[in-house]
Structure 1
C-alpha cells in the first residue's frame, strides 16, 4: 500500500472508533478494540443492552464496507494499529509503561538479532512484556523477510487492554503468535525459545512471594521487575540463544547492579551494551540502551570484546550505516564459528 492508502485506512478506523466511542461513552482505546473486533467479525457490530443504536450500527456498517484488511501487508497493518494506539495514548492519557517501542528502536533490535543469530531454520521468539505486540511483530516481520525463515512467537502480558490490542495486531497480520494473559514472573507454559526480545517495564515488582526462586531478587524489599524478567527470559532461552532487551541506561549504576552482574556471569554471556541517541529521549533519566545477552551453552562463548558504543543520530544516515557495518565486523570477529 502507498502511504496515502495507509493514511486512508487509518482515517476510516479513526472515524469508526470515534463513532463507537461516542455511542458507548467509553475510552478511545476500548472503542478501538471493540471497533476492530467488529471488523474482524465480518463487520458484525456487537450490540449490548441496546447500544449502539440501530442508526449507529447502520452508520458503522456502511463505513466497514470500505475497510478491507485482507490485501494489506503485515507491516502496513502494524503501522495502522500503531497510529491508532498513538491516538489512544493521547486521548486517554495512557501511562508511559504502556506506550509502544518506537519503530527506529524496534528495527535496531531486529537488525541486531538478525546479525547475531544467523538463522537457517524456523525459529521461536518470546516477548515476556509484549504489550500491544508492536515490537514483537516488528522483529518477526523483519526476520522473516530477511532470512526467509518462519517464526513462531509467544507473548506474555498481564494487562487486559494491551493484550486485546496485541490479539488484534496478531490476527490482522496473520502471524503465528500465541498470547498469554498472565504475570510473566510466574511459571510460563511455553517451550524453550531461540531468542527473546523485550522493551522491559521498569520499576519495583510488588509481589515478593513470587520472587523466592529468583537469583536476581533483592535481599531486602521489592525487587526490580526488569531484573526478574531478564532472568526469566534467560531461563526460557535454549542454551546459546540470544536475548535483546531495551533497558534503562542506568541499569548497571544501581546498588543492586553488582548482584545482577554476578547472576549474568553465572548464567549468560554479556555480549553487548549499546546506548541509544539522546534525541530519542526527553530526559536523561528516561534514556535507554540495548542489552545483548546470550544464554550459556556447550557451544556459546564470551566475545573477546563486548559490543559497546552509541548508535549515531538516526538523522545521520551515513554514520548509522557505518555503525551497522561495525556491528557486522564485530560479529565476524567475536561470534563467528
Structure 2
C-alpha cells in the first residue's frame, strides 16, 4: 500500500468488517457497509443487543485510532476499494458486480481531460451502472485533482446493497453525489450530464417489452443490456458531451452488433474505440475496450478518422507516453 497511514486505515476497516461479519452473521459486504457507517458516525450501531457490548468496546477502540481528516477523498476510496475486493471474494459476488480496476478509471480520466480542453467550473458525471461507486468516485476525484473543477456525481443501480456501499463511500469521501435505486433503462433522473462513464454489465436484459422501446433492441429474443444502456446513456448527456463506455472488446463482432452500429451512425458521433491492455485481464476472453461516443451538438462533428488503438501495458512507460501523445494529437486535430 502507498503509505503507512493508508495501510492503517485499511487495516482498521478490514479488521472491524471481519469482526462484524463474524459477530452479526451478515455478508462481508453488509458488514463493510456497517463498519464504514460506524466510522463516519463516530459511534457503533447496536440493534437488539448486537453486536455485544464487548464487541462494541473493541470496535470503538479500533475506530478511535483513525482521524478521517487525515485522509483525502481518494485515499479513503482506495482503502474502501480494497475492503470491497475482499467482500467480492468472500461473498462470491457475480462478475458483473465486481470492482472496476483503478487503471480503467485513470485511463477514462485521461481521455476525459484530453477531450474536454475547457471543462466547466462545475460538472456533472453520471454512471448508469454505478454499483459500489468505485469507478464514478475515482473519476470524480481524479477530474477534480487534474482540473480543479467542482464535480457532482449521479449514480443509478438496481442493487440496493451495492448502492448502500456507494452511499457510505460517498459520505466518507464528502462527495456531492445523488444515488438512485432503479432500473437504469427506466425513466432517467438526469438528462444534463457533462460526462457519462460506465463499466457496462454484459448479458441479456430480461424485460423484452421495455427493450422494444429502444432502437438498439434485438429483432427477436432478449436484447443485450450493454447495447440498450449505451443508447440510454446518450439521453443522459448534454449536447456535445461525451460518453465513455467499457464494453467487451468484441462488441462490434456479435450478430447483434448491426443494430448498435445502425443506431450509432444516426444518433451519435462515434469518436473512438481503444482496447485495454491484455495484462489487465486474467482471461483474454474478458478483455474490454473503451468506446467513446459524443452526443451531437451545435459545434460538434464526426471525426473523419475514428480514434482506434490499444493502450500499451501500463508498465511500458515509453510506449505509454507515446500513446498518450498520439491521443492528444488526435483530439487536437479532430475535436471542435
- Post-superposition, which runs of at least 4 consecutive aligned residues in structure 1 deviate over 3 A? none
Any residues of structure 2 matched to 1:254-333 within 5 Å, and which?
Answer: 254-333=254-333
Residue 212 (structure 1) shift:
3.0
Specify the SS of the correspondent of 2:327. Answer: helix
What does residue 5 of structure 1 align with?
A: 5
Residue 2 (structure 1) shift:
5.8
Give the Cα separation in 1 of the matches to 2:35 and 2:195: 33
Residue 283 (structure 1) shift:
2.1
Whether the 8 Å contact between 1:185 and 1:232 is mirrored in structure 2 is yes
- Does residue 67 (structure 1) correspond to residue 66 (structure 2)? The answer is yes
What does residue 226 of structure 2 align with?
A: 226
Q: TM-score, normalised by structure 1?
A: 0.97
Specify the SS of the correspondent of 1:210. Answer: helix
Any residues of structure 2 matched to 1:71-110 within 5 Å, and which?
Answer: 71-110=70-109
Specify the SS of the correspondent of 1:48. Answer: coil
What does residue 110 of structure 2 align with?
A: 111
What does residue 204 of structure 1 align with?
A: 204
Give the Cα separation in 2 of the matches to 1:322 and 1:3: 30
Across the aligned residues of Structure 1 and Structure 2, the Cα RMSD in angstroms comes to 1.3
Stretches of structure 1 that go unaligned for 5 or more consecutive residues are: none
Moved more, 294-303 or 45-54: 45-54
**C-alpha deviations, 1:236-268, integer Å up to 9, x for none?**
111111001100011100111111101001110
Residue 282 (structure 1) shift:
2.1
Distance 1:258 1:275, change over 3 A: same
Give the Cα separation in 1 of the matches to 2:251 and 2:209: 24
Residue 286 (structure 1) shift:
0.7
Residue 134 (structure 1) shift:
0.9
What does residue 164 of structure 2 align with?
A: 164
Give the Cα separation in 2 of the matches to 1:233 and 1:180: 15
Whether the 8 Å contact between 1:234 and 1:295 is mirrored in structure 2 is yes
Residue 188 (structure 1) shift:
1.4
Give the Cα separation in 1 of the matches to 2:195 and 2:319: 28
**C-alpha deviations, 1:60-97, integer Å up to 9, x for none?**
11111112222210110011001101111121121111
Give the Cα separation in 2 of the matches to 1:16 and 1:170: 19
Give the Cα separation in 1 of the matches to 2:306 and 2:164: 39
Stretches of structure 2 that go unaligned for 5 or more consecutive residues are: none
